Structure 1
Amino acid sequence: TWSMLSNKYFSTMVRIQTERGHEVAIGGPYKYIRHPGYVGFIVMVFATPLSLGTLYALLMSGITTILLIIRTSLEDKTLKNELDGYLEYSNKVKYKLIPFIW
């Protein structure tokens, strides 16, 4: 995805990759929102049950989205505390997932 191409430190785990000289990603979709990878995942999580027409899976999509929102907040807290420059970045790029909303 675009976020993976724009962030060479993109990972499924929340950790500062000091061995790789971890820096804040500011290009691509990161210019507009802080967690574009989660946005792509949420779209996929909702698109699948909608295309299959299953309400049970749609319910699970809602639960998954809630958990991802919680993870986003926890990840922001970790990055602000541990990654140099992230606090300034988060002050500049205000939105976590949806531009002009949240």
Structure 2
Amino acid sequence: MPIALGSWWGVLVVLATLPALAWRIVDEERYLAGHLPGYVEYQGRVHYRLLPSLW
């Protein structure tokens, strides 16, 4: 969205938050694997976290 609006400051903000988002996803999956029955099996079936074929 920032690129569509021509806001380069907005692009910088989005890029700066990506590592925090990735850390939160990994941390949440670790928590779910330890506390939610069946989540480890789910992780075995679903290989991507956020973007199919990428991550």
**TM-score normalised to structure 1 length:** 0.51
Structure with more contact order per residue of length (Cα contacts < 8 Å, sep ≥ 6): 1
Return the letter of the residue paired with 2:46: V
TM-score (norm 2): 0.88
Q: Which runs of 4+ in 1 moved over 4 A?
A: none
Structure 2's unaligned 5+ residue stretches are: none
Percentage of pairs with the same residue? 35
Give the corresponding residue for 2:12.
59
Partner residue in 1 for 2:53: 100
1:15-55 CA-partner distances (Å, limit 9, x unpaired) = xxxxxxxxxxxxxxxxxxxxxxxxxxxxxxxx2x1122111
Equivalent position of 2:34 in the other structure? 81
Question: Higher helix fraction: Structure 1 or Structure 2?
Answer: 2
Q: Please tell me whether Structure 1 or Structure 2 has the larger radius of gyration of its CA atoms.
A: 2
| Count of aligned residue pairs for this structure pair | 55
Which consecutive residues of structure 1, in runs of 5 or more, have no partner in the other structure? 1-46
